Amino acid sequence: MDRSEQPTVIPPYLLQRVASAKRLRNAATAAQDTLIRQEPGRRAAIEQSGQRKAKPAPTESDTRALTREIADAGGTDVLPGSRVRSEGEPESDDQAVNEAYDGLGHTYSLFDEVFGRSSIDGRGMPLRATVHYGKDYDNAFWNGTRMVFGDGDGEVFNRFTVSLSIIGHELTHGVTELTAALRYSGQSGALNESLSDVFGSLVEQYAKSQTVDEASWLIGEGLFTDAVNGEALRSLKAPGTAYDDDVLGKDPQPSTMSGYVESQDDNGGVHINSGIPNHAFYILATSLGGRAWDTAGVIWYRTLTAGGLTADASFSEFAAATVEAARSQFDDEVVAAVQLAWRSVEVNVGDPDAPPTGAPEAQLIVERSGGVAGISRTWRMNIDAHSDDLGKMLRTLPWRAAGTIDDRNPDHFQYRIRCTFRASAADDFEVSLAESELTATWREIIEWVRTEDHA
């Protein structure tokens, strides 16, 4: 197998930023090669997500004990590579080999010792990894049977074995595909990413015996080189602050539903909007104090593995499930803390049809495609901040008569305009138009929303 069968830890939009960095020639080339190499497997994994995979049939060799095996791809993209270290063997002279070996062990320890789950499948599945995958490969992934680590380009990214939270993140994708099998798109995809971030952080905290106050709450700490103005890929403590760099841009993660990003990129913003459930977990864990895996981690693990989540679970549905998981194992004080954590990030608890607390009741949203520069934009305005006449006027626009995009010029802007009245989905309106199809009315609406968003 020479392709990733699972979404990778570095989101495509971040690799695209590096790929376009002209002053970082080696990093740009490495990012371009990484995007090309992983794309077929990434798309296949997304299409197959949402389907719970069957657990491997038990065999006589199932020991339910930690079993690790590390291989070296030697700079090729051929898997598994040559075996270089197995369970119980002494340390290697290769730092990446030892980091991968230790990271697999720490991840196993968290799931086994805290949650009673023996390895990824719960039956002691051997944990395998391959290091030195590809030339300057800017990513790490779980392919369904093993972890695969690139060495990074050396200009933006260091070797991917350097971060214990990344190892825990990717192995948790394996747990998710065998349990809740959350579809990798929209809110369910963001939950998929968030669960990997949560347990990736817990793996690191458990290995270091950290309390919630001692933990960094960062995913991918140490992954960036010193040339990057950033400390990690993501922050559960403060989404949107992990990096702010002239090449990578600013960390786009929101911490509440008011900042929720509606996008057709990144499979509906799975790596971006995951900041919201990430922050809910952080709020819960820090409000309870002590060690995050003792209570908050147990609640999240039970929610993931209990079998009550649908493949397309929304944030509200997941939040409601965490409340029920808390109620089944802890007292009313913990239940109230879970509810407060979700309300703090403006996610409704137990009512998926109600508007998020603190979020606008109605919005007018304009999305513009990237055009020749490939830079897409989204603008929005709060309809409720204006008089009732605005809502009435918007309902009179020719939404259905506007038609659909028929402009075949790939570099022209394409616009998606949505009017969302959260009181009832039946009242919502949407239209997609090419730049050449915009009438004076639609242009006025677009400019109005842009102006309001920048005000």
Active site residues: 170, 271
Distance, CA of 83 to CA of 65 (rounded, Å): 20
Contact between residue 239 and residue 273 where contact means Cβ atoms under 8 Å apart? no
12-19 vs 25-48: helix crossing angle, rounded to 10: 160
CA torsion, ordered 235, 22, 29, 14, to nearest 10 deg: 20
Q: Identify the three-state secondary structure at position 249.
A: strand
Structure tokens at 283: 């709020």
Number of other residues whose CB lies within 10 A of the CB of residue 371: 16
Distance, CA of 239 to CA of 341 (rounded, Å): 15
DSSP letter assigned to residue 396: T
Number of other residues whose CB lies within 10 A of the CB of residue 329: 12
| Strand ranges for 116-190 from DSSP E | 127-131, 140-142, 147-149
Question: Which residue has 């649908």 as its token pair?
Answer: 310
Distances (CA, A) of 18 to 14, 35, 273, 366, 411: 7, 11, 21, 27, 22
Structure tokens at 197: 């971030």
Distance, CA of 31 to CA of 88 (rounded, Å): 36
Contact between residue 172 and residue 110 where contact means Cβ atoms under 8 Å apart? no
User: What's CA 270's distance to the chain center, in Å?
Assistant: 5
Distance, CA of 150 to CA of 31 (rounded, Å): 11
Element of type H or E holding 380: strand 377-382
The residue among 214, 282, 220 whose CA lies nearest residue 251 is 220
Element of type H or E holding 363: strand 362-368
Distance, CA of 182 to CA of 313 (rounded, Å): 7
Q: How many residues does the chain have?
A: 455
Distance, CA of 266 to CA of 11 (rounded, Å): 7
95-109 vs 186-208: helix crossing angle, rounded to 10: 100
CB burial of residue 303 (10 Å; 0-12, 13-18, 19+): buried
Contact between residue 194 and residue 172 where contact means Cβ atoms under 8 Å apart? no
